[in-house]
């Protein structure tokens, strides 16, 4: 059954449908009283709709731009300092740190019950008390995390052994999960109201100081001869400022919402979010399991090499998530107004833009690995193409799962993701065991392609809506897969040949896509 829209959205939907029918008719339609609708009224209706679209596009474009900028500054800073971390830490130490970060991402997904994801849809259902909803459900997340903490304390010895942690890493994990959850709430809330100044400032002002502090502590440890403490220094330095910042954010959320407990909101949040836990957990397992499996099967050194290659794919990842987070409020509003047909063209352009970006990262992989890790990480160059391409497939699947989320078919989103996760775990374990850690990169790409197929099929079957035809998306995906894998053949030729190829491709891409990009930008500019 199709999700029922809130009253104001229903009104806008009916109005949009009415005026679209009016424009298609050559003659004025009769109203319910048998009177003709004046042409002036039709024009006024069209003008009102254009003004609403203009306002929506302007807010989405402006706020989205600053959100993307802030995300790039925060996350991009980590990318910039990767060469410092890779040289201050050994390959094994770097592998331990990145594996620990994988456990953190899995932990907050489970312990918070994914309640922060309900903030995306609650904006439409509780517009008069949106901050109250966020505050109340935020409390429920904290209660859930505290319960998980108590359970893990009971089985602490087993948890430490399974996750390869010590006491300090264990307690830092829970402190981080508490406070990072608060950060997720404020980011989601501000995204929906299209105001990103506070949340993005909070993100930047916690990550950058944490990064600087961790580098200082690691450097001091090396100088003082505390080589065996470098992992702890990295964890304390990087996460402590984020924990403090997240705690402040938690207080602000409660102060603004002024609601700690609201059973109605809790029920709503649980109903939406609980079915998403398997899906969200599956996504994190797909993203992080390869490093964990490599660390357990092959060793921490190989996990470190794999992580360096993953860092390059994060460039696409960061840009993808930033663009998508800015995009999705606009997409949902278009669906509410029955204007989803206006999304296909700009989204197709976005897919090609990220496809070209993935190719650029692949062709420059030798230089990227040399900068990020140095000569001792050179084997990672052969992992870049499949990892970057897999990240691209993941991004392409967003448009299909987003529509299912909009109509609250979250259980089916979970089905597709869980299936892909199980498939990934099986083939990754087999591949790593038989062929070594490099096989994990190719298994990941295959798994994300399977995810794309499953989400595309489910979207059409469950909602009857298609933002972009699946055949079209698959065609684009396979083209960039073939191009990226073929590009690895250029690693064995002189560097200047690769740069000539980059120039030729850049000119061809500009000629091919510039008219469409110009048209989209013109549309946005006109509607501002």
* DSSP state, residue 30: B
CA distances to 225, 395, 473 from 477, in Å: 49, 10, 6
Q: How far apart are CA 137 and CA 54, in angstroms?
A: 33
Backbone torsion region of residue 434, taken as left when φ is above 0, otherwise alpha when ψ lies between -120 and 50, otherwise beta: alpha
Compute the CA torsion angle 8, 10, 16, 18 (nearest 10 deg). -120
Q: Residues 6 or more apart from 448 whose CB is under 8 A from it?
A: 286, 390, 391, 393, 394, 397, 420
Token digits of residue 438: 């490099």
Q: How far apart are CA 165 and CA 154, in angstroms?
A: 16
Residue in this structure with the two tokens 């999705």, named with its chain if needed: 328
368 strand-pairing partners: none
Handedness of CA 456, 458, 461, 466 (dihedral sign): negative
This prediction has a pTM of 0.72
Residue in this structure with the two tokens 């994801």, named with its chain if needed: 117
Q: Residues 6 or more apart from 261 whose CB is under 8 A from it?
A: 136, 139
pLDDT of residue 506: 85
Residue in this structure with the two tokens 């981080």, named with its chain if needed: 176
Q: How far apart are CA 103 and CA 243, in angstroms?
A: 17
Range list of β-strands (E), 26-131: none
Residue 490: CB atoms within 10 A of its CB come to 17
Range list of β-strands (E), 198-288: none
Domain segments of the chain as ranges? 59-274, 279-523
- Alpha carbon 269 to chain centroid distance? 21
Question: Closest Cα partner for 416 from 471, 458, 474?
Answer: 458
- Alpha carbon 409 to chain centroid distance? 19
- The values of phi and psi at residue 463, to 5°, are -105, -20
Cβ atoms of residues 63 and 195 within 8 Å: yes
pLDDT of residue 60: 53
CA distances to 5, 112, 271, 409, 465 from 2, in Å: 9, 28, 16, 9, 11
Cβ atoms of residues 518 and 345 within 8 Å: no
pLDDT of residue 401: 79
30 strand-pairing partners: 36
Q: Residues 6 or more apart from 219 whose CB is under 8 A from it?
A: 88
* DSSP state, residue 438: T
Token digits of residue 97: 């740190």
Q: How far apart are CA 58 and CA 333, in angstroms?
A: 13
**Residues in the chain, total:** 528
pLDDT of residue 410: 64
Q: How far apart are CA 48 and CA 160, in angstroms?
A: 60
Q: How far apart are CA 520 and CA 352, in angstroms?
A: 14
* DSSP state, residue 32: T
Q: What is the pLDDT along the chain (528 residues), one digit of tens a residue?
A: 444 444 444 444 444 443 344 334 434 443 444 444 555 555 555 555 555 554 545 555 555 555 566 666 666 677 788 889 988 999 899 989 988 988 998 898 889 888 888 887 787 788 888 889 999 999 999 999 999 999 999 999 999 988 889 999 999 999 999 998 988 888 888 777 767 777 777 877 888 889 999 999 999 999 998 998 999 999 999 999 999 999 999 999 999 888 888 899 999 999 888 877 887 788 788 878 888 899 889 988 898 899 899 888 887 887 777 777 767 777 777 777 777 677 788 888 888 989 999 999 999 999 999 998 888 888 999 999 999 999 999 889 888 877 777 776 766 777 778 888 899 999 999 999 999 999 999 999 999 999 899 888 887 777 667 778 889 999 999 999 999 999 999 998 888 889 999 899 888 887 777 776 666 555 544 444
* DSSP state, residue 467: S
């Amino acid at each position: 059954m199709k999700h029922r829209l809130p009253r104001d959205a229903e009104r806008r939907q009916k109005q949009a449908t009415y005026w679209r029918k009016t424009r298609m008719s050559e003659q004025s339609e009769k109203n319910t009283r048998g009177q003709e609708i004046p042409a002036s009224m039709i024009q006024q209706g069209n003008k009102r709709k254009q003004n609403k679209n203009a306002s929506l596009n302007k807010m989405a474009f402006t706020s989205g731009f600053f959100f993307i900028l802030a995300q790039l500054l925060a996350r991009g800073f980590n990318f910039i300092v990767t060469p410092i971390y890779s040289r201050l830490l050994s390959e094994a130490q770097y592998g331990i740190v990145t594996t620990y970060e994988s456990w953190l991402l899995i932990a907050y997904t489970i312990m918070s019950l994914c309640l922060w994801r309900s903030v995306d849809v609650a904006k439409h259902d509780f517009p008069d008390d949106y901050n109250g909803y966020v505050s109340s459900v935020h409390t429920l997340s904290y209660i859930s995390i505290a319960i998980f903490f108590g359970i893990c304390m009971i089985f602490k010895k087993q948890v430490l052994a399974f996750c390869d942690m010590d006491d300090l890493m264990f307690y830092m994990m829970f402190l981080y999960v508490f406070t990072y959850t608060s950060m997720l709430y404020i980011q989601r809330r501000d995204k929906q109201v299209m105001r990103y100044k506070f949340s993005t400032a909070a993100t930047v002002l916690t990550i950058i100081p944490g990064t600087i502090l961790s580098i200082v502590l690691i450097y001091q440890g090396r100088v003082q001869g505390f080589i065996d403490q470098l992992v702890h220094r990295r964890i304390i330095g990087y996460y402590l400022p984020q924990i403090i910042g997240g705690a402040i954010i938690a207080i602000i959320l409660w102060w603004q919402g002024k609601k700690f407990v609201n059973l109605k909101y809790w029920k709503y949040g649980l109903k939406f979010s609980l079915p998403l836990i398997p899906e969200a957990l599956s996504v994190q397992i797909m993203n992080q399991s390869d490093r964990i499996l490599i660390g357990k099967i092959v060793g921490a050194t190989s996990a470190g090499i794999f992580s360096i290659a993953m860092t390059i794919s994060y460039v696409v990842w960061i840009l993808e998530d930033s663009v998508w987070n800015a995009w999705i409020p606009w997409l949902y509003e278009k669906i509410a107004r029955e204007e989803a047909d206006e999304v296909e063209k700009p989204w197709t352009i976005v897919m090609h833009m990220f496809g070209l970006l993935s190719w650029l990262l692949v062709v420059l992989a030798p230089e990227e690995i040399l900068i990020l890790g140095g000569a001792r990480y050179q084997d990672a160059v052969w992992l870049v193409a499949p990892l970057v391409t897999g990240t691209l497939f993941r991004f392409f699947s967003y448009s299909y799962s987003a529509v299912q989320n909009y109509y609250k078919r979250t259980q089916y989103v979970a089905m597709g993701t869980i299936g892909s996760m199980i498939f990934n775990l099986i083939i990754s374990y087999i591949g790593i065991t038989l062929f070594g850690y490099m096989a994990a990169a190719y298994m990941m790409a295959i798994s994300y392609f399977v995810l794309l197929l499953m989400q595309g099929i489910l979207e059409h079957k469950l909602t009857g809506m298609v933002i972009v035809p699946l055949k079209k998306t698959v065609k684009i995906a396979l083209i960039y897969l073939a191009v990226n894998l073929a590009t690895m053949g250029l690693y064995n030729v002189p560097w200047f040949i690769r740069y000539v190829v980059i120039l030729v491709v850049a000119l061809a891409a500009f000629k091919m896509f510039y008219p469409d990009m110009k048209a989209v930008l013109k549309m946005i500019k006109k509607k501002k």
